[in-house]
Chains A and B, each alone.
Chain A
Amino acid sequence: MSFITGVGLTAFGRHEGSSSLDLMSKAAELAIADAGLKRADVDGILCGYSTVSPHIMLATVFAEHFGIKPSYAHAVQVGGATGLAMTMLAHHLVEAGVVRHVLVVGGENRLTGQSRDASILALAQVGHPDYEVVLGPTIPAYYGLVASRYMHEYGVTQQDLAECAVLMRRHALTHPGAQFHDAITVADVMASKPVALPLKLLDCCPVSDGGAAFVVSRDRTGETGVRVLGCAQAHTHQHVTAMPGLSELGAEIAIARAKATSGVAISDVRYAAIYDSFTITLAMLLEDLGLAGRGEAAARVRSGYFNGNGAMPLNTHGGLLSYGHCGVGGAMAHLVETHLQMTGRAGNRQVSDASVALLHGDGGVLSSHVSMFLERTR
């Protein structure tokens, strides 16, 4: 068994003068305190990567900086799926008895530490260096390609996708740590600057500074336990040119495996934390995971199904689209918010019943997937 025993999250947006290590440290300190532990209790460290400060040994750099001498430590790199992939590994490490408390941490000064162009350029490198990157695509263009095909096959419109952005913004308005605090409408999304059509500026997550961390432990440390029920991965390709057909993507494979290992059905799920780098990402994943019928994600958003008081509250902190995206820590915020909801600490965002949660992360261009079920135990 493994439990998420503590979580920590900074505000996302501008943290002028903070390094990636500063943001990681801040989040780590919050998570360790939240778990009721001391630095010295942590015997395992898993961290992500920083595009601003690349290093071949970031976990030990962080351990030294933070003042921990762990018995197990290394970095993990699976793009946007890194946070959940680290959580999955931490779960297996504590179950196997390798360590007692794993600190999972990600943080980056991606907004103020480099130019926006540098961020866009760094991220475009997930493409093939010889056959794709030289053509001048961007991450939004890779997802724009997927969006055009998805819209074509399933009759989804740009207005449909815009609904996802509006929902995430509405949720962010209730969280003081979110990067954006202005309400938007479908018309605003439609009128926003074209980035890589069919995706426009408000279909895309922002670049942010921020950090997130959690502690995964063999035993619960608090009154309310949040237990990992089961998790699974799927990796079907790296490059969009080599992506399989829309009906053969990794999200469907990963969720099927996670359901099989945990015995959980989608009908058991009460809260959803789903990767939302772009509106198309969120719409597709909701449908691939079975949280909406094919081509029906937007209709479910419009009906209030994913609202805080709806049947399946979704990314109540505002997601990558509106809480913000600082790299590895970006999607880790989804897990932090899930933990707050499951332990009844989400304040004005608290949903009525977050007893079972589904989390899903995606890295690359729908390349790497991690699905995970969490359960609240009292």
Chain B
Amino acid sequence: MSGVKDWTAGAEAIVYQSCPACDARQYFRRSFCCSCGAPDPVEKLAGGEGVIYATSLVCRAATPEARAHIPYNIVLVDAAEGFRMMAHGDNDLLIGDRVTARFVPFAGRLVPYFARTRS
């Protein structure tokens, strides 16, 4: 793994992996492609554009750190590059909305946050 830093490591970036052998995309980092098993998927920086697949507005959290942010919207986003990711987003996002990512603090770390893309 090349180890490009992304938001899970504190950087303002969304990183995915692309398989040189079968062209599959994956979001969860691994040392192999989970579609075909080929080693060394290539790490790529995502552009932060996508479409909302699902949303859930969290109104009851289990830790004091998360409770400070209530309500917050957990979203699944289909990224333009062909992978799906979980993130935060504006509370009024609807399924099918085109969205763009930025990064915001949440419970002591930076997390990806999506708002409607300005056309």
With contact pairs A148-B55, A149-B95 given, residues A140 and B87 touching in the complex (Cβ less than 8 Å): no
B106 touches A136 (CB 8 A): yes
A194-B84 in contact (CB<8A): no
B-contacting residues, A107-158, CB 8 Å = 117-118, 120-121, 124, 128, 130-132, 134-138, 140-142, 144-149, 152
Within 8 Å by CB of A196, from B60, B65, B69, B111, lies B60
Please measure, in the bound complex, the distance between the C-alpha atom of A229 and the C-alpha atom of B12, giving whole angstroms.
54
Contact, CB under 8 Å: A121 / B62: yes
CA distance A117 to B85 in the complex (A): 26
In Å, the complex CA distance between A121 and B63 comes to 8
Whether B8 lies near A135 (C-beta < 8 A) is no
Q: Taking the complex as formed, is A98 at the interface, i.e. its CB lies under 8 A from any CB of chain B?
A: no
B53 within 8 A of A: yes
> Would B69 and A240 count as touching, CB distance under 8 A?
no
Q: Determine whether A195 belongs to the interface, using a CB cutoff of 8 Å to chain B.
A: yes
CA distance A371 to B117 in the complex (A): 43
Partner of A145, one of B28, B54, B63: B54
> How far apart sit A149 and B62, CA to CA, in the bound complex (Å)?
24
A197 within 8 A of B: yes
Is residue A193 contacting chain B, with contact meaning CB distance below 8 A? yes
Known: A145-B74, A148-B55, A148-B95. A140 touches B107 (CB 8 A): no
| Given A135-B106, A136-B72, A241-B85: A197 in contact with B57 (beta carbons within 8 A) | yes
- B86 interface residue (CB < 8 Å to A): yes
Whole-angstrom distance between the Cβ of A207 and the nearest chain B Cβ: 12
* A48 CB to nearest chain B CB (Å): 22
In contact, A194 and B87 (Cβ under 8 angstroms): no
* Known contacts A148-B54, A148-B95, A149-B95; is-contact A134 B60 (Cβ 8 Å): no
Give every chain A residue within 8 A of B27 (Cβ-Cβ).
131, 241
A40 an interface residue at 8 Å Cβ cutoff? no
B residues with a Cβ closer than 8 A to A are 8, 27-29, 53-63, 65-66, 69, 71-72, 74-76, 84-88, 95-96, 106-107, 109, 111
Which residues of A are at the interface with B, using a C-beta cutoff of 8 A? 117-118, 120-121, 124, 128, 130-132, 134-138, 140-142, 144-149, 152, 193-199, 239-242
